[in-house]
């Protein structure tokens, strides 16, 4: 790490070696895998969970509790890690997540499971934030974009395999294993992180907005409880519902008052005056509302209505995931090439609405092709919409708001999901008793099975044929109502997309976070503006060919050097005073290889190898001559100018923080421990 003047930072721990980085990344990816998997693995187990715990009416809260807890806690985890050390808080998040997983698997009632899922969600929020921020501490700048892509791949994989794994556990072990499976992976991640990850704090000091976090969490929880309990558990005019309404209003007012005075608000209020942010937040909320609410009830349809096993129901969800991944990846590439983005959410929400409409016609006799088409269109619409909202916001806000606006956009998406899950759950619970009673035609349910308590799909399948047919009909009609209620929500999202203003696309705005590209259902990201810009630049750097980059830098610096000699000159300038052995170890090459590469710089008069260096020894330090110092300054300036091209549209000189960051990125790249690689050594 370097200080802002480009000189070594004495407070930072030494850089990790390549093997250590790989070990740390394994631990981080395991942590990310756990948090990402938990969003999808539970879906196919929900019908069995509801039956075993005899509480179908609160099924949606198994999802809502996790969503809400992880969403609200995420901003707090990010700032606590910066303030007191990311390692310790990442470890704490793993421990909390594992405790939540263990007790969730031991749950004997639905109330216990909901509480323990909330504990899991708190830990899951920390896992997401910790993995995303720690990567900047341990991975060389040029390689960060590639490793961030690995995290995105984790989200993509878990989106597909999560429902399958959940179904497999239910079929062959128990639904409790969808929680127990986290334990061995979590312990491995904890050991790896504890053993290898260095303790490191951010140099930025934060004022943590605890009160704002409490207010926004209280407002969201009160509103979600109100929408899920009103008209189902309690009449709309009853005392508990009125109390929840009053609390929600009080928390919202308190949030506005607190955020106006907070030094570092969890969600700056002035962002709502920014037209693109306001539109993107509203669209994300509504699409998240429709998406999460609908996804909760597809496994119910396949397992209860169609009578397939949990594993097969996971397979039946693949068209949705395929559509989501297809358009998530495709739209990102098209936006990067063409620089236009508004068309995708407009078309995406239209397709999403059509998909919801098709799913509202599911019956016990619907064929696989029809249901697959509806799910595929739903996935296509989600994938074409979600990541574009982040791109639009990053492209529109001021640099100082870049981090807050990005996390705010994904925050509204997750909060919308919490509301959608609870509202659609309330709708399902409200219509199910009447639908089943009508279908039974006076037949009595057998002992141990109730409409509100439900039963596992396996238990329902063993019922007498007339009763089973009536229950299937009631469930089918209720699920159709849920999707039918989602259709106007999708239409609202479509209408809102026309308010999204399209602006000329900045180059960095096209460097989409892979987690958003491959899994629009992921939790909010929490990065500062500097961290978000570092991520975008790292992603853009990965796309460049290093030989062409260094050839251009050397030419602009006016030096008669090969690309690989120019690359080495930058490293020597940043590691002045270090022995040849130390530099070779940093670059993961042998001393003999380094000595061979040094020849061009020695012959050009830029390096004085000293007696030991001239003899090929490892102990001596290679010194830059006076002309070498001038050449280093020239090539460093050319490097900064080259990186500045990636910031097209930002005008760094208009943003002091961005100008400072540009210099820091340049020095970090020059000092990084990236290997020379064949691409630099290739001779034309």
Residue 495: the pLDDT is: 92
Closest Cα to residue 125, out of 60, 69, 62, 209?
69
pLDDT band with cut points at 50, 70 and 90 for residue 10: very low
pLDDT band with cut points at 50, 70 and 90 for residue 151: low
Average pLDDT over residues 662-673: 72
Helices 563-574 and 626-646 sit at what angle, rounded to 10 degrees?
A: 100
| CA-based torsion, 244, 249, 254, 256: positive or negative | positive
Do 477 and 364 form a contact (C-beta atoms < 8 A)?
no
* Gyration radius from the chain CA atoms: 28
Higher pLDDT, 453 or 112: 112
pLDDT tens string 569-613:
888 877 777 777 877 777 777 778 777 777 888 888 888 776 455
Higher pLDDT, 491 or 336: 491
Q: pTM to 2 decimals?
A: 0.77
Average pLDDT over residues 464-472: 83
pLDDT tops 90 at residue 193: no
- Residue 676 in 3-state DSSP? coil
The rounded percent of the chain whose pLDDT value lies above 90 is: 6
Residue 13: the pLDDT is: 43
Distance CA 225, CA 230 (A): 8
Higher pLDDT, 6 or 638: 638
Question: Tokens 């900064």, residue?
Answer: 640
Do 539 and 152 form a contact (C-beta atoms < 8 A)?
no
pLDDT tops 50 at residue 7: no
pLDDT tops 50 at residue 14: no
Least confident of 204-218, 283-297, 338-352, 527-541: 527-541
Distance CA 587, CA 641 (A): 24
Higher pLDDT, 280 or 206: 280
pLDDT tops 70 at residue 82: no
pLDDT tops 50 at residue 9: no
Task: Return the C-alpha torsion angle 543, 545, 551, 557, nearest 10.
Answer: 20
The rounded percent of the chain whose pLDDT value lies above 70 is: 80
Question: Tokens 């991975």, residue?
Answer: 139
pLDDT tens string 164-187:
888 888 888 888 998 998 888 888
264: which 2 tokens? 């570092």
Residue 538: the pLDDT is: 72
DSSP assignment of 144-158, as one string?
HHHHHHHHHHHHHHH
Do 122 and 92 form a contact (C-beta atoms < 8 A)?
no
Residue 354: the pLDDT is: 93
Residue 632: the pLDDT is: 83
Least confident of 169-178, 198-207, 622-631: 198-207
Distance CA 572, CA 566 (A): 10
Q: Which residues of 175-195 are buried (b: 16+ CB within 10 A; e: fewer)?
A: bbbbbbbbeebbeebbebbee
pLDDT band with cut points at 50, 70 and 90 for residue 512: low
Average pLDDT over residues 297-317: 85
532: which 2 tokens? 């978000």
Q: Residue 97: which region, alpha, beta or left (left: phi > 0; alpha: psi -120 to 50)?
A: alpha
pLDDT tops 70 at residue 357: yes
The mean predicted confidence, pLDDT, of the chain is 78
Residue 377: the pLDDT is: 92
Closest Cα to residue 637, out of 576, 585, 566?
566
pLDDT band with cut points at 50, 70 and 90 for residue 3: very low
47: which 2 tokens? 């019908």
Least confident of 229-233, 416-420, 514-518: 514-518
Residue 527: the pLDDT is: 65
Average pLDDT over residues 198-216: 69
Closest Cα to residue 397, out of 510, 273, 537, 496?
273
Task: Write the secondary structure of 403-422 as one string of H (helix), E (strand) and C (coil).
Answer: HHHHHHHHHHHHHHHHHHHH
| CA-based torsion, 471, 472, 476, 482: positive or negative | positive
Q: Which of 172-186, 212-226, 618-632, 638-652 has the highest mean pLDDT?
A: 172-186
Do 584 and 590 form a contact (C-beta atoms < 8 A)?
yes
39: which 2 tokens? 């969003």
pLDDT band with cut points at 50, 70 and 90 for residue 100: very high
CA 423 to chain centre: 24
Do 182 and 97 form a contact (C-beta atoms < 8 A)?
yes
Average pLDDT over residues 484-499: 90
pLDDT tops 80 at residue 263: no
pLDDT tops 80 at residue 484: yes
Main-chain phi, psi angles of 607, to 5 degrees? -130, 135
Higher pLDDT, 202 or 281: 281
Closest Cα to residue 38, out of 119, 115, 149, 124?
124
Do 47 and 456 form a contact (C-beta atoms < 8 A)?
yes
pLDDT tens string 107-124:
888 889 989 998 998 888
pLDDT band with cut points at 50, 70 and 90 for residue 451: low
pLDDT tops 80 at residue 236: no
Residue 376: the pLDDT is: 93
Higher pLDDT, 445 or 304: 304
pLDDT tops 50 at residue 279: yes
């Amino acid at each position: 790490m370097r200080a802002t003047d480009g000189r070594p930072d004495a407070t930072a721990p030494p850089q990790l070696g390549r093997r250590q980085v790989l070990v740390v990344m394994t631990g981080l990816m395991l942590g990310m895998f756990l948090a990402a998997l938990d969003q999808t693995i539970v879906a196919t187990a929900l019908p069995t969970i509801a039956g075993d715990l005899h509480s179908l009416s609160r099924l949606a809260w198994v999802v809502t509790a996790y969503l809400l807890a992880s969403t609200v806690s995420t901003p707090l985890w990010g700032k606590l890690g910066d303030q007191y050390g990311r390692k310790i808080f990442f470890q704490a998040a793993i421990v909390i997540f594992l405790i939540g997983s263990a007790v969730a698997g031991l749950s004997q009632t639905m109330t216990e499971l909901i509480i323990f899922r909330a504990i899991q969600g708190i830990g899951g929020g920390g896992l997401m934030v910790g993995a995303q921020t720690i990567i900047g501490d341990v991975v060389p700048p040029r390689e960060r974009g590639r490793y961030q892509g690995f995290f995105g791949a984790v989200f993509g994989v878990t989106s597909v395999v999560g429902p399958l794994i959940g179904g497999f556990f239910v079929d062959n072990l128990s639904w409790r294993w969808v929680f127990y499976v986290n334990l061995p992976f979590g312990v491995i991640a904890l050991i790896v992180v504890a053993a290898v990850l260095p303790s490191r704090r951010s140099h930025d000091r934060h004022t943590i907005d605890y009160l704002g976090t409490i207010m926004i969490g209280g407002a969201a929880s009160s509103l979600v409880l109100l929408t899920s309990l009103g008209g189902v558990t309690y009449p709309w005019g009853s005392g508990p519902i009125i109390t929840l309404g009053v609390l929600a209003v009080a928390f919202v007012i308190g949030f506005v008052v607190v955020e106006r005075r907070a030094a570092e608000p969890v969600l700056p209020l002035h962002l709502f005056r920014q037209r693109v942010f306001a539109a993107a937040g509203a669209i994300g909320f509504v699409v998240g509302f429709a998406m999460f609410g609908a996804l909760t009830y597809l496994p119910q349809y396949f397992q209860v209505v169609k009578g397939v096993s949990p594993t097969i129901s996971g397979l039946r969800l693949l068209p949705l995931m395929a559509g989501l991944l297809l358009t998530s990846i495709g739209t990102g590439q098209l936006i990067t090439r063409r620089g236009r983005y508004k068309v995708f959410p407009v078309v995406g929400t239209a397709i999403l609405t059509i998909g919801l409409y098709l799913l509202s016609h599911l019956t016990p006799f619907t064929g696989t092709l029809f249901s697959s088409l509806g799910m595929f269109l739903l996935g296509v619409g989600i994938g074409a919409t979600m990541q574009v909202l982040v791109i639009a916001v990053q492209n529109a806000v001021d640099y100082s708001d870049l981090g807050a606006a990005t996390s705010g956009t994904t925050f509204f998406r997750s909060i919308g999901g919490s509301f959608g899950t609870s509202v659609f759950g309330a709708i399902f619970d409200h219509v199910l008793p009447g639908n089943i009673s009508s279908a039974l035609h006076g037949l009595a349910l057998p002992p141990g099975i109730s409409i509100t308590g439900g039963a596992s799909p396996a238990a329902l399948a063993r019922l007498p044929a007339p009763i089973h047919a009536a229950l299937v009909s009631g469930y089918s009609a209720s699920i159709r109502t849920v999707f039918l209620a989602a259709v106007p929500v999708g239409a609202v999202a479509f209408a809102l997309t026309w308010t999204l203003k399209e602006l000329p696309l900045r180059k960095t705005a096209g460097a989409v976070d892979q987690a958003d590209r491959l899994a629009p259902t992921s939790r909010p990201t929490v990065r500062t503006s500097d961290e978000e810009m570092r991520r975008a630049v790292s992603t853009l750097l990965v796309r460049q060919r290093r030989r062409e980059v260094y050839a251009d830098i050397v030419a602009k610096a006016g030096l008669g050097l090969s690309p690989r000699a120019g690359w080495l000159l930058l490293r020597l300038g940043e590691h002045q005073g270090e022995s040849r052995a130390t530099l070779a170890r940093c670059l993961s090459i042998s001393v003999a290889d380094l000595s061979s590469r040094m020849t061009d710089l020695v012959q050009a008069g830029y390096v004085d190898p000293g007696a030991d260096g001239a003899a090929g020894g490892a102990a001596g330090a290679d010194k830059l001559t006076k002309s070498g110092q001038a050449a280093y300054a020239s090539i460093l300036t050319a490097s900064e100018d080259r990186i500045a091209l990636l910031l097209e549209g930002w005008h760094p000189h208009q943003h002091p923080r961005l100008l400072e960051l540009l210099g820091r990125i340049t020095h970090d790249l020059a000092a990084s421990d990236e290997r020379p690689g064949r691409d630099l050594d290739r001779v034309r």
